């Protein structure tokens, strides 16, 4: 079940990055199939603790029967609130393996994959009433253009947005097939898969508010980590990685931190390594690993 649900990427590197103390308290904010969580539990002693988050109810099927473990079905943007709620003020390490699981991609009706015909959905949290349908059918043209341009880095963002707004007046765009037909002129056969993947990525990031959630989460890591505690975070696209990199370097997402009178800057983290990417062997065995980038940092 677990191996089918998701094959963990950079498993040992990411967990090594946490520098686990057997009696420490750790958080896995993207539980999924629990591959990383199981590896953390292996390295914890009897008094260690692991708290995991996943906003997708499907992940609850992989819950681990272990008294050191707690799985919370919530968005990691509420990290601090739910840690406090369960009685944890500070922790020793936080692991994040962002984006979508193989399970979410592989279940056709979730609507994440360009491989299947499905209703426009893409919600990780299916209690939300905000889906790909909402973005495609309700967003104003300028909002759609921004989504395609900012999150899909699509050169034809403006044309795509215009065409969607025009066509949806005739008929609502309810399925992946309809969306593909509407945008047909932007999908030349030799680039169809690549461009569709960019379109899907853009809509998915918007539906799940992935950038906002990541920023809110990163800012809280500083508040909940003990000094010397680690973050070990895997990103799968440059928008995410840029935020993680800048946060580790500067403690902020834009601009540069202010210097004090001695020209020193105060930043919350120190990078442990530049970054780690999967080996050729791992990518050969698990194609999903191909775009992964792991960054590890220690709280000062
Ligand atoms: C790449 S998978 C993680 C796989 C996991 N490391 C494993 O070994 O099986 C990402 C998981 O994080 C969850 N997720 C993504 N963004 C989230 C968020 N903002 N809050 C909570 N869970 C999130 C997804 O639902 C998905 O199950």
Structural domain boundaries in the chain: 11-102+210-299, 107-208
Task: Count CB atoms within 10 A of the CB of residue 138.
Answer: 11
Asked whether the whole model's pTM tops 0.85, one would answer yes
* Ligand 1 midpoint to CA 28 (Å): 9
Does the C-beta of 30 come closer than 6 Å to ligand 1? Answer: yes
pLDDT score at 153: 95
Q: Which of 129, 107, 111 is nearest to 120 (CA)?
A: 111
pLDDT score at 273: 87
Closest atom of ligand 1 to 101 CA is 2
Name which residue sits closest to atom 8 of ligand 1, judged by CA.
35
Contact 233, 225 (CB under 8 A): no
Q: Which is it for the CA torsion 44, 3, 231, 226, positive or negative?
A: negative
pLDDT score at 157: 98
Cα separation, 234 vs 64, whole angstroms: 22
Q: What share of the chain is helix, strand, coil (3-state, %, to 5)?
A: 50, 15, 35
Site to substitute for ligand 1 among 15, 75, 95, 101, most atoms within 8 A of C-beta = 101
In CATH terms, 107-208 corresponds, of 1.10.150.170, 3.40.50.1360, 3.40.190.10, 3.20.20.80, to 1.10.150.170
pLDDT score at 121: 98
Contact 73, 208 (CB under 8 A): no
How far out from the chain centre does Cα 85 lie? 23
Render the burial of 259-295: b for 16+ CB within 10 Å, e for the rest. Answer: eeeeeeeebbbeebeebbebeeebbeebebbebbbbb
Contact 1, 58 (CB under 8 A): no
Does the C-beta of 6 come closer than 6 Å to ligand 1? Answer: yes
Site to substitute for ligand 1 among 14, 124, 204, 214, most atoms within 8 A of C-beta = 124
**CATH H-level, domain 11-102+210-299: superfamily:** Vaccinia Virus protein VP39 (3.40.50.150)
| SS3 at position 47 | coil
Helix (H) or strand (E) holding 230: strand 225-235
Percentage of residues of the chain with pLDDT beyond 90: 94
pLDDT score at 4: 80
Between the alpha carbon of residue 113 and those of residues 106, 108, 183, 199, the distances in Å are: 7, 7, 17, 11
Which segments in the chain show pLDDT lower than 50?
A: 1-3
Task: Count CB atoms within 10 A of the CB of residue 66.
Answer: 12
| Residue 91 DSSP code | E
């Amino acid at each position: 079940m677990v191996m089918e649900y998701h094959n963990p990427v950079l498993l040992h590197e990411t967990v090594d990055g946490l520098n686990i103390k057997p009696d420490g308290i750790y958080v896995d904010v993207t539980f999924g199939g629990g591959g990383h969580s199981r590896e953390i539990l292996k390295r914890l002693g009897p008094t260690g603790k692991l708290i995991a988050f996943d906003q997708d109810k499907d992940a609850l099927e992989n819950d681990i029967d272990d008294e050191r473990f707690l799985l919370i079905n919530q968005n990691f943007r509420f990290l601090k609130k739910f840690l406090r709620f369960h009685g944890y003020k500070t922790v020793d390490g936080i692991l994040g393996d962002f984006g979508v699981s193989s399970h979410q991609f592989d279940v056709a009706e979730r609507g994440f994959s360009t491989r299947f015909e499905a209703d426009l959905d893409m919600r990780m949290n299916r209690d939300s009433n905000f889906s790909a349908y909402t973005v495609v059918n309700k967003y104003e043209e300028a909002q759609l253009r921004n989504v395609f341009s900012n999150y899909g880095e699509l050169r034809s963002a403006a044309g795509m947005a215009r065409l969607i707004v025009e066509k949806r007046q005739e008929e609502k765009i309810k399925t992946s097939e309809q969306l593909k037909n509407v945008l047909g002129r932007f999908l030349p056969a030799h680039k169809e898969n690549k461009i569709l993947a960019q379109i899907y990525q853009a809509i998915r990031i918007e539906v799940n508010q992935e950038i906002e959630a990541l920023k809110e989460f990163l800012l809280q890591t500083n508040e909940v980590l003990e000094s010397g505690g680690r973050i070990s975070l895997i990103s799968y696209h440059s928008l995410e990685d840029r935020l993680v990199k800048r946060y580790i370097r500067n403690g902020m997402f834009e601009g540069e931190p202010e210097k004090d009178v001695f020209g020193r800057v105060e930043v919350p983290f120190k990078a442990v390594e530049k970054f780690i990417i999967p080996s050729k062997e791992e990518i050969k065995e698990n194609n999903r690993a191909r775009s992964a980038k792991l960054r590890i940092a220690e709280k000062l």
